[in-house]
Amino acid sequence: MAAEITAPPYRVIPIIPSIKPGAMEGLKPFVASDKIQEALGFPGELVEDWEERAIAKMGELLKKYRSLKVYLDACVHCGACSDKCHYFIGTQDPKNMPVARQDLLRSVYRRYFTIPGKLFPKLVGARDLTREVLDEWYSYYHQCSECRRCSVFCPYGIDTAEVTMAAREILDSVGYGQKYANEIIGKVHKIGNNLGLPGPALTDTLEGLEEDVKEDTGIDIRFPLDVKGAEVLLITPSADFFAEPHIDSLVGYAKVFHAAGISWTLSSKASEGGNFGLFIGSYDQLRQIALRIREAALELGVKRIVVGECGHAWRVAYSFWNTLTGIGDGADPNDRFAIQLQKQLDQRYKQPSHICEVTWDLIQKQAITLDPEANDHYVVTFHDSCNVARASRMGDMPGGQFEIPRNIIRAAANKFVDMNEATIMEKTFCCGGGGGLLTDDLMDLRVKGALPRMEALKEVVEKDGVNFMAAICAICKTQFTKVLPYYGFNMRMIGGVHQLVSNAIRLGDK
Amino acid sequence: MPQIEVNGKSYETDEEGYLVNLADWNMDVANYIAKTENLNMTEQHWEVIDFLRKYYDEFQIAPAVRVLTKAIGKKLGPEKGNSQYLYELFPYGPGKQACKVAGLPKPTGCI
């Protein structure tokens, strides 16, 4: 008998959105006030000679970052990136195609820095820097979350995020900064974290948390603050102290350290993992913010530095902390404090480590035990956060940053499914709120930018009954809490990987 | 700077309508802001506002969601000590919306 003939299953046909020119034109997040700007050493308001200064700044950046020049020169407008951006997909504004967004800056670069652009601007698409162009930069470079999904598809490997960062750096240098990001950076310097949570409030919050966890589990789980001589310094986003569902992951980290018998501490000086210096493209700010962590580590005498669930913090920690601060290899030999810290840290451990690396290592060594039945009410999926997925790694193998969080979830829960493979791992979609855009004045953009992730989620909700999406980033968690209801989902569907660990970990009698 | 006018007096706010000066706050201003947020203020709302202001006075920041839910739970009973109850009162989120009515600065960060 002949084999039964069946039609192949339907494929999911990628839908390339039609174009709506000008759909997001004029969108403008609040501009930073003079007070906010000046606290960071930027001009308080748009300077009179902004054109001259912007071009000078661009020249400075082109000299400083060879990569920027390469990215501005190399693009051949092949269009491979055009439909890969969540903001283009969600807004249909053609200027949100990564190639077109970059061209807003590239056209000005051509005019002032290339010979054909200087001689025949019209022929090569070169533009003068006018006030309209400057406003367009402000608008569209705040419609990019620097997630770098487009770069995965670029045959030249152009890092679009670097172009966005350069544009924002130029804007800051002429007094045209964004309120949300710059106000937050000011708070880090003044108070120690993005939230502006002062030491006494942090102490009060952590004490309350100890009471709550004791009530829940009957066990004294500590949330230590500023403990000298602790083995581990945990650097985590301040949202973990403040917001839901973030705080449930903080409880998870504490339970892991408790169960494994590792002494640990938080720091009131470095009570923030986030580093918005990255978002505004300022190396200076990036370094200043990172140095607080070194100061805290030296003061507390810790042996290990572990980073909590924060996407861009892990990018900064993994990729830049070594040269910025001496955490990891590669510190400047003339930087006394960096060298001191390298000697202080226990080099048998990866410095820094991600909390997921710590937890997975302990699970494998059977130093902690998880009961996955505790999460049987969940069917779990995992949202890869952009900065972890595309700008870092975990463990010792390529793709560890994808595998390790999934391994932990599988150990903590019996039911796990992945979303469509075109939307996960290195091809993951941004949550829609990254890169300094997690602010109410950009809510329309945030809701639209979440579309592709929501589509992929809907698919597994319908097919597999998914009711929990885990993430390892404070921004992702907040963004989804806000946008899930717009797409008909419960805001409580989003949570942390260590929230699942917290539910499943065996405490006391192992 | 934008302003709001209540009972013939004007008060400075930020772009989103949060009071700039903590000391400007009074019940009338709070009622006015609540109206712009489409909130129908009840005794339960005022309980939350009262707690937020006292906490801010002590710590110079709004309380974490969990601190707030716990305090409300202690005062009004455990069935109300959860964020769901607070979201029913302040649908845009107890953190931001309640702070606005309470005349406190908007909490920002990754929240």
Which are the contacts of A306, defined by CB distance < 8 A and separation ≥ 6? A232, A233, A234, A235, A264, A352, A353, A354, A355, A358
Contact at CB, A274 and B107, closer than 8 angstroms? no
When pLDDT is averaged across residues A469-483 and rounded to a whole number, the result is 97
Residues in B closer than 8 angstroms to A187, CB to CB, are 108-109
Residue A113 CB-density burial (10 A; 0-12 exposed, 13-18 middle, 19+ buried) = middle
DSSP state of A292: H
pLDDT tens-digit readout, A322-341? 989 988 887 888 989 999 99
Q: What percent of chain A has pLDDT over 70?
A: 98
Query: How do residues A52-73 score in pLDDT, each as one tens digit?
Result: 999 999 999 999 999 999 999 9
Walk me through the domains of chain A, giving residue ranges and CATH numbers. Answer: 46-174 (1.10.1060), 184-356 (no CATH), 370-504 (3.40.50)
Q: Which two tokens stand for residue A452?
A: 């592709």
Which chain A residues are closer than 8 Å to B64 by Cβ? Answer: 205, 208, 241-243, 247
Given B5, B15, B38, B110, the catalytic residue: B110
Nearest by CB: B110 against A30, A438, A441: A438
* pLDDT score, position A9: 78
Residue A255, pLDDT above cutoff 60: yes
Say whether B64 and A238 touch across the interface (CB within 8 A): no
Minimum mean pLDDT range among A9-18, A282-291, B21-30? A9-18
Q: What is B3-101's CATH number?
A: 1.10.10.370
Instruction: Answer yes or no: B99 catalytic.
Output: no
DSSP character string of A297-349: HHHHT-SEEEE-S-HHHHHHHHHTHHHHHSSSS---TT-HHHHHHHHHS-TTS
Least Cα distance to A408 among A375, A442, A450 occurs for A375
**Above 80 in pLDDT, residue A11?**
no
pLDDT at residue A14 in the model:
65
Mean pLDDT is lowest, of A12-21, A32-41, A98-107, A127-136, for: A12-21
B60 touches chain A (CB under 8 A): yes
Mean pLDDT rounded to a whole number for chain A: 96
* Beta bridge partner(s), residue A339: none
Rounded CA separation A408/A401 (Å) = 12
Q: Is residue B1 very low, low, confident or very high in pLDDT (cuts 50, 70, 90)?
A: confident
When scoring A242, A272, A479 by the number of chain B Cβ atoms within 10 A, the one with the most, hence best to mutate, is: A242
Model confidence at A345, in pLDDT bands (50, 70, 90)?
very high
DSSP A199: H
Cα–Cα distance, A73 to A163 (Å, whole number): 12
Chain B environment of A197 (Cβ under 8 Å): 61
Measured distance CA(A329)–CA(A490) in Å, rounded:
44
The answer to whether the CB of A85 falls within 8 A of the CB of A98 is yes
DSSP H or E run through A388: helix A386-391
Rounded average pLDDT over A306-323: 96
In contact, A281 and A165? CB cutoff 8 Å: yes
Among B59, B96, B108, the residue with its CB nearest the CB of A204 is: B59
Q: Write the residue in A201, A208, A274 that is nearest to B110 by C-beta.
A: A274
Shortest Cα distance, chain A CAs vs residue B61, angstroms? 6
Residue written as token pair 């989902």? A489
pLDDT band at A1 (very low <50, low <70, confident <90, very high): low
| Residue B67 contacts A where some CB pair is shorter than 8 Å | yes
Q: What pLDDT is attached to residue A326?
A: 86
Does B111 sit within 8 Å of A242, measured CB to CB?
yes
CB pairs under 8 A between A and B: 85
Would you place residue B79 in the very low, low, confident or very high pLDDT band (cuts 50, 70, 90)? confident
**Chain A residues with beta carbon closer than 8 angstroms to that of B109:** 184, 187, 193-196, 237-239, 242, 274
Q: What is the mean pLDDT of residues A364-374?
A: 98
Which of B61, B63, B66 shows the shortest C-beta gap to A196? B61
What is the spatial distance between Cα B62 and Cα B107, in angstroms, rounded to a whole number?
7
Cβ-based burial of A498 (10 A; exposed 0-12, middle 13-18, buried ≥19): buried
- What local confidence, expressed as pLDDT, does residue A39 receive? 97
Q: How far is A230 from chain B (nearest CA, A)?
A: 26
Residue A509's pLDDT band (cuts 50, 70, 90): low
> Could you report the per-residue pLDDT of A396-442, keeping only the tens digit for each?
999 999 999 999 999 999 999 999 999 999 999 999 999 999 999 99
Q: What pTM was computed for the model?
A: 0.95
Are the CB atoms for A75 and A158 separated by under 8 Å? yes
B22 shares contact with chain A (CB less than 8 Å): no
Residue A246 predicted with pLDDT over 60:
yes
Amino acid A200: pLDDT: 95
Point out which residues pair with A469 in neighbouring strands. Answer: A381, A494
Question: Mind listing the pLDDT tens digit for each residue in A174-199?
Answer: 999 999 999 999 999 999 999 999 99
- Judge: A238–B61 Cβ closer than 8 Å, yes or no: no
Put simply, whether B27 touches A (Cβ < 8 Å) is no
Query: Which of B60, B65, B109 is opposite residue A198, by nearest beta carbon?
Result: B60
Judged by CB atoms closer than 8 Å, whether chains meet at A194 and B108 is answered as yes
Tell me: the pLDDT tens digits for B59-72? 999 999 889 998 88
Task: Report d(CA A198, CA A218) in Å as an integer.
Answer: 29
Q: Name the residue facing A201 among B16, B61, B70 (closest C-beta).
A: B61
Which residue, A44, A74, A52, A284, is CA-closest to A163?
A74
Distance CA A353, CA A503 (A): 23
Q: Chain A residue closest to B108 (CA)?
A: A195
Instruction: Supply the Cα-derived Rg of chain A in whole angstroms.
Output: 23
Mean pLDDT of chain B: 91
Residue A75 zone, left/alpha/beta (φ > 0; ψ -120 to 50; rest): beta
Q: Is B21 on the interface with A (CB under 8 A)?
A: no
Cβ-based contacts of A183 with chain B (< 8 Å): 108
